Amino acid sequence: MNYIGSKVAFSRGGRVLFMDMIKKITWVLSVIVLANSVFADDSEIARHCENCKPKEPVECDPCYEKSRDKLYDQGYGICEDILPEAYNAPGRIDICKDIDLYVTGNFIYWKPLLDQVEIGITRFEDTSGENIFFEDIKFITDYKPGFKVGFGYNFSHHDNWHIYSQYTRLHETKSINFVPTRPSGITSGVFYPTNIGFPVTGSIPGSDINTTFKIELDKIDFELGRVYYIGANLITTLFAGATCHFLDQSYDQFVINIPSSVDFKTFFKNDSWAIGPRLGLETKWIFYRGFRLFANGAFSLMFSENDMSGLFVVFTSPVVTRNYKKVKKEIIRDVEELAIGFGWGSYFVNDKLHIDLSVAYEAQRYSHTNYMNYYSHLVNTGISSTFLEKPGDAFLHGLTVSARLDF
């Protein structure tokens, strides 16, 4: 029994001793690991932390921050609850850094339509006088290229108003050669040139009528306006300003072999300038990701001066020349402009640039521009006559392709 008890006691004491040793070994290993971590070699730390070095700070782009944080792209469609409904918030193109300059360039392909520039009328009558034939000889113009260039500036700190100036140039020269033809059975005829004032009889056919018409339009517009929202996708611009233009026209007709193998020439010109106020409205509807439909209109009421002069030359021996005294006519001229079209625009480089492209049909009317028939009316009816025809108008219409850069 004593032997057994002593053996049990020894077994219990051995276990306790073994557990104490395990605890001591665990503490020693922990201390070693901690010391190794604290006193590790610098190269070892560098090896493990090589990818943890802080990167060089990137230079901050304020335009990037501004473009990222803004609620909407100004000048494009917005959500209905973005802006107060009672305030016409600015809808102009908003360029970062507030430079806010823009330039425009337009290619125009327009056709002038003009009143009272017919070449003349031919009248044929048979010997019995029962059959009379008339032919109205029209002067047909063509589409011609021209251009517009403009420059504008936005006042970002003055309620977002803008100023804009534009120059328009369209010059055209057109020549037509006409040979009168008589109906079968008619031996003679009469040709009434539009701008001479008396009939010319002679051999028809066998005669050539060469006519050249020239029109030159140079126009400058200046406007002060403001672009603003009137709907979530509807933006409009009201503007007021001034406009002036120079509109010069000339009509040159050379008739060969009428009458009696005699040639003659007639030349008239109408030089006009005008200046006055100009009011307008531009509206665009943005229907998808910067694509839009637009309609623009403007009206001008201008003081205008027209200077008419001309001459008539008969190539006989000796040559007979008639000079028509210069006539000056002052009037009030109205000008109407309309454009409808399709366009696209977008911001670039964190809103530092904006590009806009568009194509439109454009039409313009200039009243009281053609006084070249004035002399022929006087010859036909007399100076005191009340039957003088009113001056003609000039119409321009055609294609306009535009580009705009805001920076």
Q: In angstroms, rounded to a whole number, what is the distance separating the alpha carbons of residues 217 and 272?
A: 10
Q: How far apart are CA 25 and CA 145, in angstroms?
A: 99
Higher pLDDT residue, 47 or 109?
Answer: 109
What's the confidence (pLDDT) of residue 276?
Answer: 98
Query: Does pLDDT of 36 surpass 60?
Result: no
Q: Per the structure block, which two tokens stand in for 394?
A: 């000039």
Average of per-residue pLDDT across 90-108: 91
Tens of pLDDT, residue by residue over 120-153, are 777 777 766 677 777 777 888 999 999 999 999 9
Q: Is the pLDDT reported for residue 215 higher than 90?
A: yes
Can you tell me the distance from the alpha carbon of 292 to that of 236, in angstroms, rounded to the nearest whole number?
A: 12
At 30, list the tokens: 């922990």
Q: What is the mean pLDDT of residues 48-60?
A: 49
In this structure, whether the domain defined by 62-406 belongs to CATH 2.60.120 is answered with no
Name the most confidently modeled range: 177-181, 317-321, 328-332. Answer: 328-332
Confidence class for position 6, pLDDT limits 50, 70, 90? very low
CA atoms within 13 A on the CB side of 164: 25
Residue of higher predicted confidence among 350 and 2 = 350
Per-residue pLDDT band for 169 (boundaries 50, 70, 90) equals very high
Q: Which residue has the higher pLDDT, 235 or 22?
A: 235
Query: Within the chain, what is the greatest distance between any pair of CA atoms?
Result: 174
Beta bridge partners of 108: 146, 400
Tokens coding 175: 């020549």
- Report how far apart, in Å, the C-alpha atoms of 355 and of each of 102, 232, 344 are: 10, 21, 8
CA distance 150 to 164: 7
- The pLDDT assigned to 32 comes to 58
pLDDT of residue 184: 67
List the domain boundaries for the chain.
1-35, 62-406
Q: Find the mean pLDDT for residues 218-230.
A: 97
Residue 206's pLDDT is what?
A: 55
Residue 6 in 3-state DSSP?
helix
Tell me the average pLDDT of the chain.
81
Given this model, what pLDDT does residue 172 score? 95
Rounded-to-integer distance, Cα 270 and Cα 217, Å: 12
- Say what the pLDDT of residue 1 is: 43
